[in-house]
Structure 1
């Protein structure tokens, strides 16, 4: 079977560990003079983005190229979609050209899963679908945290994370919650009641998640504070009275962090609305990992692309657990041998 990454819920704990540890190694490779590895030479990765993106699309393109894959970006405004072609027909047309991976972003939840159910020979990676999920963002954030906590996967557990802001419309929030639930961490959600309704927990998430409407109580003693922006573009009704009122109550400031969570790591998936989500001084603070999150984007997406393609190569062998372990061992060997072989191939 092909490997798809549609949701964090698709991953077992062992797979999450594998991706993060391999992402860590790719971070090390990114510090080298020659940053490329031949791991995916001969493979093709197509980025199919129906929404604007700077960080995600660019990092997927760089990730594919650093793995020596051919990376293709589809310009939706100049594609047949604008002529009335359906998303499925567009994807089937692209699959007929034999790509290995299709990276999909769409404003409607469920599009990547829909395509994964129809495409037979192409792995699908969800780069964000509506308010549903953004799994690679949660993984890169976890990689940034793992690096901050000493580089060991085990250090990601037994933590308290508070997510602040527009939880209701955030695909990053969902993926982050699923991943930290998988890690066994304590999770607090805080924001205006319409953006973090009490039934949100009851319908979607487990009982270990606590809902707050007061910022101070939510961040008290937190190890990690993840701040999200208010997503006005996904709201078809008024959920807050004004951005000014929102920022007065929920904008994260150095004063409140110092008082209630002085040792907390500050994160934001971007783009940041300065003075609304958090103050500019916190963005540049030593405890902020915002630029580290961006830096980890290429590395974790390299790990995800390699993970997806490795399964495709070995799917015909067997689906047994024994073969699965061989797949993971082979993937790890590719990672551990990365960098140096490419230097030999390109020398002279």
Structure 2
């Protein structure tokens, strides 16, 4: 694997290896070899979980980080994304982790020779989030085939929804959608639409999404209370879920909107486990991209 722009950059054996490595913590610093790598994290959008978990993964792998602050960079002088990235390559960075508001921003960077790891491109893809979601589901059910995953909320504007829907169906899961009709995506939601009341009784995995207000153009206009009542996971709805079903959310969570605040850490919530798995997955990705370990593949069926 030389890049991670979307999950299409991974073969299924590579995906299997990354999940296995992440789950068994086989990407430790003592397995590194050669010169200590240096990477740069370029976040053109706000981030807590993704940015901090990449930094934690880098520190645990012994990777040095070039601090990059968009507000104090030459981006403010009109420098292009390509020239920024090419500069960091020229001074010795071995990989770039980039989050950018533009979909498929990485298509501008084909002239680079170092790997790009996509930490989110607009409403396009979020491959490392999907990998940590897959790891969380795998740890819970040890399979994907036949699971019913319902993705709920702001589907059209969510890169998490786009990436997860495609890879989950590829792995054999049944994927359905719930949420405001005006926020559905025709490219994804041709499969099955459920009301929230239908979703809670059918789902093995209820995957809630943050409302992407920064990507809206005036559509919707729900109050927090109205959205929660019509499309959110209320306490009453949670009580009707299957006994072994789980709740997921990429966070940040709008408590009392996508789900009731009391459910964020309820017995079936895996929201903070997803965050823990984020460090594991990003360590595995960095180890693969930077060749910090041997090339052995693992024949573990996911």
TM-score by length of 2: 0.92
Matched, 1:145 2:141: no
1:37 positional shift: 3.2
Q: Which residue of 2 aligns with 1:37?
A: 30
Q: Is the 8 A contact 2:148 2:204 kept in 1?
A: yes
**Any idea what the Cα deviations from partners look like across 1:74-102, whole Å, max 9, x if unmatched?**
11111010111111111111110121110
Q: Is the 8 A contact 2:162 2:188 kept in 1?
A: no
**Any idea what the Cα deviations from partners look like across 1:140-185, whole Å, max 9, x if unmatched?**
1111222223xx4xx2332110011000100011111122112110
**Any idea what the Cα deviations from partners look like across 1:54-87, whole Å, max 9, x if unmatched?**
1111111111121111122311111010111111
Misfit runs of 4+, over 4 Å: none
The separation in 2 between residues aligned to 1:215 and 1:240, in whole angstroms, is 19
Give 5+ residue unaligned stretches, structure 2: none
1:239 positional shift: 2.5
TM-score by length of 1: 0.80
Choose from 266, 271, 280 the match for 1:285: 266
Q: Is the 8 A contact 1:169 1:231 kept in 2?
A: yes
1:310 positional shift: 2.0
Matched, 1:98 2:92: yes
Matched, 1:328 2:302: no
The separation in 1 between residues aligned to 2:174 and 2:164, in whole angstroms, is 12
Q: Which residue of 2 aligns with 1:136?
A: 128
Q: Which residue of 2 aligns with 1:60?
A: 54
Matched, 1:173 2:161: yes
**Larger helix share, 1 or 2:** 1
Q: Which residue of 1 aligns with 2:207?
A: 226
Q: Which residue of 1 aligns with 2:284?
A: 303
1:13 to 1:38, Cα distance in 2 relative to 1, 3 A: closer
Q: Which residue of 2 aligns with 1:242?
A: 223
1:211 positional shift: 2.3
After alignment, is 92-101 or 252-261 more displaced? 252-261
Matched, 1:200 2:194: no
Q: Is the 8 A contact 2:94 2:115 kept in 1?
A: yes
1:260 positional shift: 4.2
Q: Is the 8 A contact 1:127 1:136 kept in 2?
A: yes
1:37 to 1:280, Cα distance in 2 relative to 1, 3 A: farther
Q: Is the 8 A contact 1:257 1:264 kept in 2?
A: no
1:45-84 → structure 2 map (5 Å cutoff): 45-84=39-78
Q: Which residue of 2 aligns with 1:346?
A: none
Matched, 1:21 2:13: no
1:90-129 → structure 2 map (5 Å cutoff): 90-115=84-109, 117-119=110-112, 121-129=113-121
CA RMSD of aligned residues (A): 2.1
Give 5+ residue unaligned stretches, structure 1: 30-34, 314-326, 333-348
The separation in 2 between residues aligned to 1:218 and 1:148, in whole angstroms, is 19
